């Protein structure tokens, strides 16, 4: 009976170790990456140009300057081979969220900077 339990336990261990590796995380296309980076650059350029005329917008300019850097870091983390798949997916989602924030803030800018 002890041998049967041992054989079953070993078989269970063997099945777990032969699991296939997780699928690779698809990277953003070059077009999507460029579009996202361009959206943030446009927002930074416009909000900082506005800050020169409207002092209340100066803080927005300072905050906006961090967005392209956050996007760059997320892209690098996602592209690093040692990055775990779940972290890479989160990093790519961070790129998309940052781009969305840039686009939304750019759309709100005309109300803050006539």
| pLDDT for 44 | 96
pLDDT tens digit sequence for 53-111:
999 999 999 999 999 999 999 999 999 989 999 999 999 999 999 999 999 999 999 98
Residue 83 DSSP label: S
Q: Please report, for the chain, the start and end positions of each structural domain, with discontinuous segments joined by +.
A: 26-112
| pLDDT for 19 | 58
pLDDT tens digit sequence for 5-60:
545 565 665 555 555 666 667 788 999 999 999 999 999 999 999 999 999 999 99
CA distances from 63 to 36, 55, 66, 90 (A): 17, 14, 6, 22
Distance, CA of 80 to CA of 92 (rounded, Å): 12
pLDDT at 2 over 70: no
Strand (E) or helix (H) holding 48 = helix 30-51
| pLDDT for 23 | 64
Distance, CA of 45 to CA of 106 (rounded, Å): 10
């Amino acid at each position: 009976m002890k041998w049967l339990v041992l054989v079953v336990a070993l078989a269970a261990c063997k099945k777990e170790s032969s699991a296939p590796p997780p699928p690779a995380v698809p990277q953003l296309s070059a077009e999507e990456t460029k579009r996202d980076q361009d959206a943030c650059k446009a927002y930074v350029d416009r909000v900082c140009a506005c800050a020169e005329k409207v002092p209340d917008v100066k803080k927005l300019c300072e905050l906006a300057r961090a967005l392209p850097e956050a996007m760059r870091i997320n892209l690098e983390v996602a592209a690093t081979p040692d990055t775990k798949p779940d972290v890479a997916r989160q990093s790519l989602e961070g790129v998309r969220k940052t781009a969305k924030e840039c686009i939304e803030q750019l759309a709100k800018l005309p109300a803050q900077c006539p």
